[in-house]
Amino acid sequence: MANTEDETRFKLQHERLLKAAATCFNEKGYSGTSLKDVASGLGLTDAAVYYYVRNKEELVYQCYLRAAELGQEAIERAQRDGLTGFDQAFLYVRYHIEILCGERGPVAIMSEVPSLSEEHRQEILKLSRRHSQAFEKILKLGMSDQSIADCDIRMTGNAIMGAINWIPKWYHGDQAVAKKLLEEFPKILTSGLCPSNN
Protein backbone atom coordinates (compact mmCIF):
# COMPACT_ATOMS: atom_id res chain seq x y z
CA MET A 1 0.00 0.00 0.00
CA ALA A 2 2.76 2.42 0.96
CA ASN A 3 4.62 1.69 -2.28
CA THR A 4 1.50 2.46 -4.32
CA GLU A 5 1.00 5.73 -2.47
CA ASP A 6 4.66 6.64 -2.96
CA GLU A 7 4.46 5.82 -6.68
CA THR A 8 1.31 7.90 -7.08
CA ARG A 9 2.88 10.82 -5.25
CA PHE A 10 6.02 10.52 -7.39
CA LYS A 11 4.00 10.47 -10.63
CA LEU A 12 1.92 13.48 -9.63
CA GLN A 13 4.95 15.52 -8.64
CA HIS A 14 6.81 14.42 -11.78
CA GLU A 15 3.85 15.56 -13.89
CA ARG A 16 3.85 18.93 -12.10
CA LEU A 17 7.56 19.23 -12.78
CA LEU A 18 7.17 18.55 -16.51
CA LYS A 19 4.33 21.05 -16.81
CA ALA A 20 6.32 23.73 -14.98
CA ALA A 21 9.36 22.97 -17.13
CA ALA A 22 7.23 23.17 -20.29
CA THR A 23 6.13 26.67 -19.28
CA CYS A 24 9.73 27.76 -18.75
CA PHE A 25 11.07 26.19 -21.94
CA ASN A 26 8.20 27.63 -24.01
CA GLU A 27 8.75 31.13 -22.63
CA LYS A 28 12.55 31.29 -22.32
CA GLY A 29 13.91 28.50 -24.51
CA TYR A 30 16.44 25.89 -23.45
CA SER A 31 19.41 28.20 -22.97
CA GLY A 32 17.34 30.76 -21.05
CA THR A 33 15.91 28.24 -18.60
CA SER A 34 17.68 26.87 -15.54
CA LEU A 35 16.63 24.10 -13.19
CA LYS A 36 16.45 26.83 -10.54
CA ASP A 37 13.74 28.58 -12.62
CA VAL A 38 11.70 25.39 -12.76
CA ALA A 39 12.21 24.64 -9.08
CA SER A 40 11.19 28.13 -7.98
CA GLY A 41 8.05 27.95 -10.11
CA LEU A 42 7.02 24.90 -8.08
CA GLY A 43 8.20 26.19 -4.72
CA LEU A 44 10.88 23.49 -4.58
CA THR A 45 14.58 23.56 -3.84
CA ASP A 46 17.07 22.88 -6.63
CA ALA A 47 17.99 19.63 -4.90
CA ALA A 48 14.37 18.43 -5.07
CA VAL A 49 14.40 18.69 -8.88
CA TYR A 50 17.45 16.42 -9.03
CA TYR A 51 15.32 13.72 -7.42
CA TYR A 52 13.40 13.51 -10.73
CA VAL A 53 16.04 14.37 -13.36
CA ARG A 54 19.84 14.36 -13.54
CA ASN A 55 20.20 17.59 -15.50
CA LYS A 56 18.43 20.11 -17.75
CA GLU A 57 18.95 18.03 -20.89
CA GLU A 58 17.11 15.09 -19.34
CA LEU A 59 14.32 17.42 -18.23
CA VAL A 60 13.70 18.78 -21.72
CA TYR A 61 13.91 15.22 -23.09
CA GLN A 62 11.22 14.08 -20.64
CA CYS A 63 9.09 17.09 -21.59
CA TYR A 64 9.33 16.07 -25.24
CA LEU A 65 8.47 12.46 -24.46
CA ARG A 66 5.36 13.71 -22.68
CA ALA A 67 4.44 15.93 -25.63
CA ALA A 68 4.81 12.99 -28.01
CA GLU A 69 2.67 10.73 -25.81
CA LEU A 70 -0.12 13.30 -25.54
CA GLY A 71 -0.08 13.96 -29.28
CA GLN A 72 -0.27 10.23 -29.97
CA GLU A 73 -3.19 9.97 -27.56
CA ALA A 74 -5.07 12.64 -29.54
CA ILE A 75 -4.38 10.83 -32.84
CA GLU A 76 -5.53 7.44 -31.55
CA ARG A 77 -8.67 8.88 -29.98
CA ALA A 78 -9.56 10.65 -33.24
CA GLN A 79 -9.01 7.44 -35.22
CA ARG A 80 -11.35 5.58 -32.87
CA ASP A 81 -14.08 8.22 -32.87
CA GLY A 82 -14.10 9.51 -36.46
CA LEU A 83 -15.88 7.66 -39.26
CA THR A 84 -14.29 9.41 -42.24
CA GLY A 85 -10.83 10.80 -42.81
CA PHE A 86 -12.17 14.33 -42.49
CA ASP A 87 -13.92 13.48 -39.21
CA GLN A 88 -10.68 12.08 -37.84
CA ALA A 89 -8.66 15.11 -38.94
CA PHE A 90 -11.19 17.49 -37.37
CA LEU A 91 -11.32 15.49 -34.13
CA TYR A 92 -7.55 15.23 -33.94
CA VAL A 93 -7.24 19.02 -34.03
CA ARG A 94 -9.92 19.36 -31.36
CA TYR A 95 -8.58 16.65 -29.09
CA HIS A 96 -5.02 17.93 -29.32
CA ILE A 97 -6.13 21.47 -28.46
CA GLU A 98 -8.15 20.12 -25.52
CA ILE A 99 -4.93 18.64 -24.16
CA LEU A 100 -2.80 21.72 -24.82
CA CYS A 101 -5.28 24.16 -23.28
CA GLY A 102 -6.82 21.92 -20.62
CA GLU A 103 -5.72 20.66 -17.24
CA ARG A 104 -2.98 18.54 -18.80
CA GLY A 105 -1.30 21.56 -20.34
CA PRO A 106 1.03 23.22 -20.80
CA VAL A 107 2.97 20.98 -23.16
CA ALA A 108 6.51 21.74 -24.31
CA ILE A 109 7.03 22.91 -27.89
CA MET A 110 9.61 20.68 -29.58
CA SER A 111 11.71 23.63 -30.69
CA GLU A 112 14.88 22.73 -28.80
CA VAL A 113 15.55 19.26 -30.22
CA PRO A 114 19.16 20.20 -31.19
CA SER A 115 19.93 20.72 -27.49
CA LEU A 116 19.33 17.03 -26.78
CA SER A 117 22.00 14.37 -26.63
CA GLU A 118 22.37 12.33 -29.83
CA GLU A 119 20.50 9.34 -28.38
CA HIS A 120 17.63 11.43 -27.04
CA ARG A 121 17.47 13.54 -30.21
CA GLN A 122 17.12 10.49 -32.43
CA GLU A 123 14.39 9.03 -30.21
CA ILE A 124 12.37 12.27 -30.21
CA LEU A 125 12.77 12.71 -33.96
CA LYS A 126 11.56 9.13 -34.46
CA LEU A 127 8.50 9.77 -32.31
CA SER A 128 7.83 13.03 -34.16
CA ARG A 129 8.03 11.30 -37.55
CA ARG A 130 5.70 8.55 -36.35
CA HIS A 131 3.20 11.17 -35.24
CA SER A 132 3.38 13.00 -38.58
CA GLN A 133 2.94 9.73 -40.46
CA ALA A 134 -0.13 8.87 -38.37
CA PHE A 135 -1.75 12.18 -39.31
CA GLU A 136 -0.78 11.72 -42.96
CA LYS A 137 -2.52 8.33 -42.80
CA ILE A 138 -5.69 10.14 -41.72
CA LEU A 139 -5.37 12.52 -44.68
CA LYS A 140 -4.86 9.57 -47.04
CA LEU A 141 -7.98 7.93 -45.63
CA GLY A 142 -9.92 11.12 -46.29
CA MET A 143 -8.71 11.30 -49.87
CA SER A 144 -9.63 7.64 -50.33
CA ASP A 145 -13.15 8.01 -48.89
CA GLN A 146 -13.50 11.39 -50.68
CA SER A 147 -14.16 13.36 -47.51
CA ILE A 148 -10.88 15.24 -48.11
CA ALA A 149 -9.89 16.87 -51.38
CA ASP A 150 -6.73 15.77 -53.19
CA CYS A 151 -3.78 17.57 -51.62
CA ASP A 152 -0.08 17.37 -50.98
CA ILE A 153 -0.28 15.18 -47.89
CA ARG A 154 3.11 16.08 -46.45
CA MET A 155 2.65 19.85 -46.84
CA THR A 156 -0.95 19.75 -45.59
CA GLY A 157 0.02 17.69 -42.56
CA ASN A 158 2.93 19.99 -41.75
CA ALA A 159 0.73 23.09 -42.02
CA ILE A 160 -2.00 21.78 -39.73
CA MET A 161 0.27 20.16 -37.17
CA GLY A 162 2.61 23.15 -37.17
CA ALA A 163 -0.28 25.47 -36.31
CA ILE A 164 -1.37 23.20 -33.45
CA ASN A 165 2.10 22.61 -32.06
CA TRP A 166 2.86 26.33 -31.84
CA ILE A 167 -0.19 27.08 -29.65
CA PRO A 168 1.74 26.66 -26.36
CA LYS A 169 4.05 29.49 -27.43
CA TRP A 170 1.29 32.08 -27.25
CA TYR A 171 -1.50 30.50 -25.18
CA HIS A 172 -1.00 31.28 -21.49
CA GLY A 173 -4.01 29.82 -19.69
CA ASP A 174 -6.80 32.30 -20.48
CA GLN A 175 -9.95 30.16 -20.43
CA ALA A 176 -11.86 32.52 -22.73
CA VAL A 177 -9.09 32.07 -25.31
CA ALA A 178 -9.16 28.30 -24.78
CA LYS A 179 -12.89 28.27 -25.47
CA LYS A 180 -12.39 30.23 -28.71
CA LEU A 181 -9.56 27.93 -29.73
CA LEU A 182 -11.76 24.86 -29.31
CA GLU A 183 -14.61 26.51 -31.19
CA GLU A 184 -12.65 28.03 -34.07
CA PHE A 185 -9.34 26.26 -34.66
CA PRO A 186 -10.73 22.86 -35.74
CA LYS A 187 -12.90 24.63 -38.32
CA ILE A 188 -10.15 26.99 -39.47
CA LEU A 189 -7.47 24.32 -39.80
CA THR A 190 -9.65 21.75 -41.59
CA SER A 191 -11.93 23.91 -43.75
CA GLY A 192 -9.49 23.78 -46.65
CA LEU A 193 -9.64 19.97 -46.63
CA CYS A 194 -13.27 19.84 -47.77
CA PRO A 195 -13.70 18.88 -51.44
CA SER A 196 -16.32 21.61 -51.90
CA ASN A 197 -13.72 24.26 -51.01
CA ASN A 198 -11.29 23.18 -53.72
* Span 118-166, pLDDT tens digits: 999 999 999 999 999 999 999 999 999 999 999 999 999 999 999 999 9
114 prior amide bond cis, ω within 30: no
Question: Among 70, 188, 91, which Cα is nearest to 142's?
Answer: 91
User: Would you call 141 helix, strand, or coil by DSSP?
Assistant: helix
**For residue 37, what are the contacts with CB-CB under 8 A and spacing of at least 6?**
24, 28
Dihedral sign of CA atoms 103, 156, 79, 181 in order? positive
Q: Is 193:149 a contact under the CB 8 Å cutoff? A: yes
The predicted model scores a pTM of 0.92
195 prior amide bond cis, ω within 30: no
- Which bin fits 29, alpha (ψ -120 to 50), beta or left (φ > 0)? left
Instruction: Say yes or no to pLDDT of 2 above 70.
Output: no
User: Would you call 147 helix, strand, or coil by DSSP?
Assistant: coil
Q: Is 64:113 a contact under the CB 8 Å cutoff? A: yes
59-74 per-position pLDDT tens digit = 999 999 999 999 999 9
Distance CA 187, CA 184 (A): 5
89-102 per-position pLDDT tens digit = 999 999 999 999 99
φ, ψ for residue 173, nearest 5 deg: 95, 0
- At 1, the pLDDT band (50, 70, 90 cuts) reads very low
Q: Domains along the chain?
A: 56-197 (1.10.357.10)
